Structure 1
Amino acid sequence: MKTAKKKIIIADIAALKKNFAYNGLNTVCQSAKCPNIGECYKNKTATFLILGKNCTRACAFCGVDKFTPEPLDADEPKRVARAIKDLGLSYSVITSVTRDDLPDGGAEHFARTITEIKNSIPNVKIEVLVPDFKGEQSSLNIVLAAKPDVFSHNLETVAPLYNMARKGADYKRSLDVLKYAKRKGFKVKTGIMTGLGETLSQIFNLIDDVKNAGIDILTVGQYLAPTKKHLPVVKEYSPKEFEEIEKYALKINIPKIVCGRYVRSSYLAEKHYNS
């Protein structure tokens, strides 16, 4: 019976991959080598990666390719919507590579994707996980005007490690992006990784910043190096340490904290939204 069930799951995963390939779509699940890919595909969920699969930045922790970015695919928003409709999803997560080469950072493409999904499947909930758009409020306004249900941007790590892990990014700028979306009345989400060399007190300081920014959902997961070429794991956090982080977040009244080794910002996103 277990063997039969496993075969069904494998078949479901293969069918999902076939759907993405048919629609010419990328997923962050595959591009970033996410450890939860099997579970998410089994549950017919995925995080769509738009604006191509090549990033203009070279974050030292990330498994996404860093090559010359592809030209914008004007038909991509429609294909994303079609894939979501075909899969019967009630909740979709849309993210992208960083496109510093584009004047608006890809904001209009995000907005078109949101609009296409809403027009095709009016009841679906949409979460966008956006880059920082270099902090440009005009780009943020374009995305927010399309009215996603959740606006997400990951802080990724503590401020002192940005120069090492997130060259081209800025901690304060990322925090300001989140604050801006919150001031505009949106449900806001961010995520970080542990194990890059930060201290527990630095994580607590970040959680304080999250609280002061009014962020609704915080995810905390263990960094796992995608390949040997990426930053090494400095520390493996224990379940007890994740529990300590969660307790601190709850103590200062973070509305929703999701904490654990395999937690990622888009992992079980629908469940966290509903709760």
Structure 2
Amino acid sequence: MVTVLDTVQRSRLRHPEKAHRPDQEVAKKPDWIRVKAPTSKNYAETRSIVKDNKLVTVCEEAGCPNIGECWDKKHATFMIMGEICTRACAFCNVSTGRPLALDPLEPANVAKAVQQMGLTHVVITSVDRDDLADGGAQHFAEVIRAIRALTPLTTIEILTPDFLRKDGALEIVVAARPDVFNHNLETVPSNYLTVRPGARYFHSIRLLQRVKELDPSIFTKSGIMVGLGEERNEVLQLMDDLRSAEVDFMTIGQYLQPTKKHHPVKAFVTPDEFKSYETVALSKGFLVVASSPLTRSSHHAGEDFARLRLAREAQLKAFAATAA
């Protein structure tokens, strides 16, 4: 087995102050979710572009297990508005605290990095910015427009916070017309009090539904982690809730505990169980489903966007044939 660099190790390298004591080890991972350490030339080049443009990526901040694979392909998910989040979700390894002021040069720097990396599809996410009047909605819009101006053929996927209690924020982001609007539910509603205490499950469902009401042409997407103590029937109900909001794309991945102080892993879900979830989700009407232990919101995002477009075209053709 090749030496692996797991989530905790990456966290120690990026944030040594977060390193936990040796006696606080997290649950041992099964072989099916182990990954190779990132060592390729392309990985190093991607890291250099990110650093040179003074950008933050969720790949590093959240300790994503797919960083080696994605950065080798020169894919990265940019995390805008800083690296300090105003919330403290029990599953997340991003630092919590009082964020710094927004960087007015960030939209241009993100666009420049997209151009330098030659991205045909880019994913933009952010920390929660409850300190801002619009939750950072205008900044999202400025980043989208900067990318459009510099690389107009690049398709843009955003992964946003919930903009809770930020009236008008969603409308600002949708008006900038991203190609994919992603907002993750993260887990089933019974876990929200302990896993995602600052959020509201049905507010998130309504947010996704509202995107479709404002602009039906935008693809919507949401994801969850499993292994947090959820029951199978709760996951199936969550699928129905997403479909009631006309969400097009669902992702399901294994939760990995970053450190001992985070929510513990209650179960490692097997690849067969992930496949079963995928089969059920497709039967419920999602255009695309990504379900595997290593699935993450932006993993293979470009390829998945191509699948989304093809699935929508097939759906429209089938509808036209039925109507005729």
Q: In the alignment, which residue of structure 1 is the partner of 2:304?
A: 272
Give 1:67 deviation, angstroms: 2.1
Q: In the alignment, which residue of structure 2 is the partner of 1:10?
A: 40
Q: In the alignment, which residue of structure 2 is the partner of 1:78?
A: 108
1:86-97 residue pairs with structure 2 within 5 A? 86-97=116-127
* Alignment partner of 1:43 out of 73, 85, 98: 73
Matched AA of 2:52: Y
Q: In the alignment, which residue of structure 2 is the partner of 1:175?
A: 205
Matched AA of 1:269: A
Q: Could you report, residue by residue, the CA deviation over 1:14-63 in whole angstroms, capped at 9, with x for unpaired residues? A: 11111111100000000000000000001100100000000000000001
Is the Cα–Cα contact under 8 Å of residues 178 and 213 in structure 1 kept in the other structure?
A: yes
Matched AA of 2:92: C
Aligned equivalents of 1:228, 1:118: Cα separation in 2 = 42
Q: In the alignment, which residue of structure 2 is the partner of 1:22?
A: 52
Q: In the alignment, which residue of structure 1 is the partner of 2:288?
A: 256
How many residue pairs match? The answer is 269
Aligned equivalents of 2:270, 2:64: Cα separation in 1 = 20
Aligned equivalents of 2:115, 2:259: Cα separation in 1 = 34
Instruction: Calculate percent identity across the aligned residue pairs.
Output: 46
Aligned equivalents of 2:292, 2:251: Cα separation in 1 = 9
Aligned equivalents of 1:36, 1:135: Cα separation in 2 = 33
* Alignment partner of 1:163 out of 193, 199, 209: 193
Aligned equivalents of 1:137, 1:124: Cα separation in 2 = 29
Q: What SS does the aligned partner of 1:263 have?
A: coil
Give 1:136 deviation, angstroms: 3.5
Aligned equivalents of 2:165, 2:155: Cα separation in 1 = 25
Q: What SS does the aligned partner of 2:87 have?
A: coil
TM-score (norm 2): 0.81
Q: Could you report, residue by residue, the CA deviation over 1:183-214 in whole angstroms, capped at 9, with x for unpaired residues? A: 22121000100000000000000001111111
Q: Does 1:211 align with 2:243?
A: yes
Q: In the alignment, which residue of structure 1 is the partner of 2:173?
A: 143
Q: Does 1:201 align with 2:233?
A: yes
Aligned equivalents of 1:268, 1:228: Cα separation in 2 = 29
Q: What SS does the aligned partner of 2:40 have?
A: helix
Is the Cα–Cα contact under 8 Å of residues 222 and 262 in structure 1 kept in the other structure?
A: yes
Q: In the alignment, which residue of structure 2 is the partner of 1:241?
A: 273
Is the Cα–Cα contact under 8 Å of residues 226 and 253 in structure 2 kept in the other structure?
A: yes
Aligned equivalents of 1:167, 1:85: Cα separation in 2 = 38
Instruction: Answer with 1 or 2: which has the greater Rg.
Output: 2
| Structure 2, unaligned runs of 5 or more | 1-35, 308-324
Matched AA of 2:86: T
Q: Does 1:106 align with 2:130?
A: no
Aligned equivalents of 1:253, 1:146: Cα separation in 2 = 27
Is the Cα–Cα contact under 8 Å of residues 46 and 71 in structure 2 kept in the other structure?
A: yes
Aligned equivalents of 2:288, 2:134: Cα separation in 1 = 31
Q: In the alignment, which residue of structure 2 is the partner of 1:223?
A: 255
Is the Cα–Cα contact under 8 Å of residues 135 and 174 in structure 1 kept in the other structure?
A: no
Q: What SS does the aligned partner of 1:191 have?
A: strand
Aligned equivalents of 1:251, 1:178: Cα separation in 2 = 20
Runs of 4+ in 1 over 3 A off after TM superposition: none
Is the Cα–Cα contact under 8 Å of residues 25 and 48 in structure 1 kept in the other structure?
A: yes
| Structure 1, unaligned runs of 5 or more | 1-5
* Alignment partner of 2:223 out of 191, 197, 205: 191
Q: What SS does the aligned partner of 2:85 have?
A: coil
Is the Cα–Cα contact under 8 Å of residues 133 and 166 in structure 2 kept in the other structure?
A: no
Q: What SS does the aligned partner of 2:164 have?
A: helix
Matched AA of 1:259: S
Aligned equivalents of 2:53, 2:259: Cα separation in 1 = 28
Aligned equivalents of 1:9, 1:222: Cα separation in 2 = 24
Give 1:9 deviation, angstroms: 5.8
Aligned equivalents of 2:84, 2:97: Cα separation in 1 = 5
